[in-house]
Amino acid sequence: MTKSQAIDLQAKWKQQDPPPLCEHLKVESERNVDGDVTDHNHCTVCGQSVPR
């Protein structure tokens, strides 16, 4: 996913009241606009950045 997709996911997740606890079971590498993998991973459910 791209960084903006991750930010979108985070925003949607935070709109839930209260936000559910996410265990970040599924993570995906962040990619820049050129499609290259960056040093960051993001949870595909909540968008939070997750350490590798």
Chain residues binding Zn ion by CB under 5 A are 22, 24, 43, 45-46
- What are the residues whose beta carbons fall under 8 Å from the beta carbon of 8, sequence distance 6 or more? 47
Note if the bond before 20 is cis, omega within 30 degrees: no
User: Judged by CB, which is closer to Zn ion: 36, or 46?
Assistant: 46
Specify which residues 2 forms β-bridges with.
Answer: 31
Query: Least distance from C-beta 22 to Zn ion, angstroms?
Result: 3
At closest approach, how far in Å is the CB of 49 from Zn ion?
Answer: 10
Q: How far is the CB of 5 from Zn ion (least distance, A)?
A: 14
The pair of structure tokens assigned to 7 is 């930010």
